[in-house]
């Protein structure tokens, strides 16, 4: 349902964005050589006995882009379109993202090319455990800490935590974040990404002196990130007029009842057929006249061919890499205010950091404490990025990359080169 231009390679986009920010920082070539590329790239074979008795080989990846500022951190994606280049791009963005919110992690990402919607729970569990076993030499609470991403969830994290712990011989909850609460997960982690998106939208509205109450919003992708952002925006009095998932898009110009839509999605697995809504196409959703567009699905949703149709005046990138550089240029020329992904969706990794801290300390926080700390981190990061945007007169994406890349550059310069 995405109007995705598949030709845009996410890793090329990540490198192009790096170069633009490194140029703006006037970063020297030696530092660029040290921080631009992934430190480790692992491809693994994941053989799984399917329910019909035969063995299918899946391909999986774990990429550690950077451990300059701390252990590598990043989610695991299960999707038919997962490629090594996509995982490299997502790992690269994780490095700059952790630095933007100033948490002591580097960047990583993992994925398996598979279609989880066509797999049984048993098949998913066997695939997850075998994949964990294959990447086991790389991961660990002090090394590399996976988390959920597209089509993985707390249950997936529980299987990874169990496989890792059984191999080591004792429970090690800190090996993953986004775990169920009963296994050492953090209150507030499940809604952290959407909540962070909400806080950055609040900050952007304040900066632009536009009211959030009554603002019209379209959300592409109604999963963890998109649905929670929609829920909080709805609670704040904004009108969420359209949402989509991989099966369809629903629209109501007076605003959708988001709590009921979340219930429908939980019960039926899709948003299609929601009462008091009309069906529209994915292209129509992106081109809706609205105040804020929230892409919360996959990369390259808005590209050279459809960016000029966008009529929103603000884009909040809940997804990673939803705008191509060509789209960025078109939207910039139209004066659209973009909250870039490495700032907008950093709430997930921020509360993952809180979860890891709690696991390491065996001491757990109240939900309100998590929300307060998250709000502080997100709003501070927004202010830091905005300051660069205004002072250097660069787009918000370049400003965010300058902040993140600048912090990693400083760390690598202090550490020096080994040997
Ligand atoms: P999810 O699996 O919970 O939800 C994905 C949603 O996108 C589903 O509703 C699905 O139906 C929809 N979708 C998939 N393909 C689509 C398409 N072609 N058109 C429209 N909708 C489509 O995943 P998520 O965790 O919400 O991740 C969504 C995005 O947010 C990804 O880019 C992910 O990297 C990013 N993100 C997630 C987190 C997190 O903590 N979950 C953190 C940071 C960034």
Cβ–ligand 1 distance for 193 under 6 Å, the answer yes
Q: Report the separation in Å between the CA atom of 3 and the middle of ligand 1, taken as the mean of its atom positions.
A: 15
Q: Which residue has the tokens 């939207």?
A: 331
Pick from 360, 345, 375, 376: which is nearest to 70 by CA?
360
Cβ–ligand 1 distance for 98 under 6 Å, the answer no
What is the number of domains present in the chain? 2
Residue 4 has pLDDT above 90, yes or no: no
Res. 8 pLDDT band, cuts 50 70 90: confident
CA angle 135, 136, 141 (to 5 degrees): 115
| Domain identity same for 70 and 54 | yes
Q: Which residue has a Cα nearest atom 30 of ligand 1?
A: 319
- Per the annotation, the verdict on 109 as an active-site residue is yes
Residue 219 belongs to some domain of the structure: yes
Residue 6 has pLDDT above 70, yes or no: no
The 10 Å Cβ neighbour count of residue 115 is 11
Q: Give the residue-averaged pLDDT of 215-220.
A: 98
Structure tokens at 111: 């994925």
Residue 3 has pLDDT above 80, yes or no: no
| Domain identity same for 155 and 230 | no
CATH assignment of the domain containing 78: 3.40.50.10860
Which of 95, 96, 149 should be mutated for ligand 1, with most atoms under 8 A from CB? 149
| Domain identity same for 258 and 382 | yes
Domain end point (choices 161, 183, 205):
183
Please give the Cα distance from 332 to 387 (Å, whole number).
Answer: 18
Residue 395 has pLDDT above 70, yes or no: yes
| Domain identity same for 156 and 205 | no
> Over the stretch 359-370, which tens digit does the pLDDT of each residue have?
999 999 999 999
> Over the stretch 287-300, which tens digit does the pLDDT of each residue have?
999 999 999 999 99
Domain end point (choices 138, 158, 183):
183
Residue 27 belongs to some domain of the structure: no
Q: SS3 for 60?
A: strand
CA angle 241, 244, 249 (to 5 degrees): 80
Which member of 36, 109, 179, 265 is catalytic?
109
Residue 364 belongs to some domain of the structure: no
**What helix, strand, coil percent values describe the chain, rounded to 5?**
50, 15, 35
Residue 398 has pLDDT above 70, yes or no: yes
| Domain identity same for 56 and 195 | no
> Over the stretch 88-134, which tens digit does the pLDDT of each residue have?
999 999 999 999 999 999 999 999 999 999 999 999 999 999 999 99
| Domain identity same for 172 and 234 | no
> Over the stretch 70-88, which tens digit does the pLDDT of each residue have?
999 999 999 999 999 999 9
The rounded mean pLDDT for the chain is 97
Atom of ligand 1 nearest to the CA of 192: 40
Q: Report the separation in Å between the CA atom of 169 and the middle of ligand 1, taken as the mean of its atom positions.
A: 34
Check: CB of residue 176 under 8 Å from CB of residue 182: no
- Return the CA Rg of the chain: 20
Q: Which residue has the tokens 């921020």?
A: 350
| Domain identity same for 154 and 282 | no
Q: Give the residue-averaged pLDDT of 189-213.
A: 98
CATH assignment of the domain containing 208: 3.40.50.720
Cβ–ligand 1 distance for 1 under 6 Å, the answer yes
Residue 407 belongs to some domain of the structure: yes
> Over the stretch 258-309, which tens digit does the pLDDT of each residue have?
999 999 999 999 999 999 999 999 999 999 999 999 999 999 999 999 999 9
Residue 3 belongs to some domain of the structure: no
Domain end point (choices 155, 183, 211):
183
Residue 210 has pLDDT above 50, yes or no: yes
Q: Considering Cα of 103, then 109, then 110, then 115, what sign does the dihedral take?
A: positive
Please give the Cα distance from 246 to 222 (Å, whole number).
Answer: 9
How much is the pLDDT for 337? 98
| Domain identity same for 178 and 198 | no
Check: CB of residue 242 under 8 Å from CB of residue 250: yes
DSSP string across 89-105? HHHHHHHHHHHHTT-S-
pTM of full prediction above 0.85: yes
Residue 2 belongs to some domain of the structure: no
Residue 361 belongs to some domain of the structure: no
Residue 7 has pLDDT above 60, yes or no: no
Q: Are strands 239-244 and 216-220 parallel, antiparallel or unpaired?
A: parallel
Please give the Cα distance from 408 to 67 (Å, whole number).
Answer: 10
Structure tokens at 67: 């451990």
Which range marks the domain in which residue 328 is found?
Answer: 187-356+370-419
| Domain identity same for 215 and 153 | no
How much is the pLDDT for 5? 45
Residue 137 belongs to some domain of the structure: yes
Residue 138 has pLDDT above 50, yes or no: yes
Which of 297, 345, 348 should be mutated for ligand 1, with most atoms under 8 A from CB? 297
């Amino acid at each position: 349902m995405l109007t995705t231009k598949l030709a845009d390679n996410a890793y090329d986009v990540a490198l192009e964005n790096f170069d633009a920010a490194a140029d703006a920082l006037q970063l020297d070539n030696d530092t660029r050589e040290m921080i631009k590329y992934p430190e480790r790239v692992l491809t693994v074979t994941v053989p799984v006995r399917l329910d019909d008795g035969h063995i299918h080989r899946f391909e999986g990846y774990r990429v550690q882009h950077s451990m300059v500022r701390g252990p590598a951190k990043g989610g695991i994606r299960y999707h038919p379109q997962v490629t090594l280049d996509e995982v490299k791009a997502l790992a690269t963005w994780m490095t700059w993202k952790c630095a933007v919110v100033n948490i002591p992690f580097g960047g990583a990402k993992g994925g398996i090319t598979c279609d989880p919607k066509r797999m049984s729970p048993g098949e998913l569990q066997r695939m997850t455990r075998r994949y964990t076993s294959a990447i086991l030499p790389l991961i660990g609470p002090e090394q590399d800490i996976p988390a959920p991403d597209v089509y993985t969830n707390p249950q997936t994290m529980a299987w990874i935590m169990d496989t890792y712990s059984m191999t080591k011989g004792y429970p090690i909850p800190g090996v993953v974040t986004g775990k169920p609460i009963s296994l050492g997960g953090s209150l507030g982690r499940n809604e952290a990404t959407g909540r962070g998106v909400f806080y950055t939208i609040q900050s952007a509205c304040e900066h632009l002196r536009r009211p959030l109450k009554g603002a019209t919003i379209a959300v592409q992708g109604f999963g963890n990130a998109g649905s929670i952002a929609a829920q909080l925006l709805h609670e704040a009095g904004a009108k969420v007029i359209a949402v989509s998932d991989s099966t369809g898009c629903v629209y109501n110009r007076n605003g959708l009842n988001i709590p009921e839509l979340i219930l429908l999605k939980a019960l039926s697995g899709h948003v299609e057929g929601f009462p008091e809504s009309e069906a529209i196409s994915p292209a129509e959703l992106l081109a809706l006249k609205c105040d804020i567009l929230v892409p919360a699905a996959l990369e390259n949703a808005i590209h050279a061919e459809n960016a000029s149709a966008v009529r929103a005046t603000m884009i909040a990138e809940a997804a990673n890499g939803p705008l191509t550089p060509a789209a960025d240029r078109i939207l910039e020329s139209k004066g659209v205010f973009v909250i870039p992904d490495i700032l907008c969706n950093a709430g997930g990794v921020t509360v993952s950091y809180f979860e890891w801290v709690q696991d390491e300390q065996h001491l757990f926080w109240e939900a309100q404490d998590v929300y307060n700390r998250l709000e502080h981190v997100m709003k501070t990061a927004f202010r830091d990025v905005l300051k660069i945007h205004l002072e250097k007169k660069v787009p918000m994406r370049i400003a965010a990359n300058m902040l993140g890349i600048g912090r990693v550059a400083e760390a690598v310069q202090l550490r020096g080169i080994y040997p």
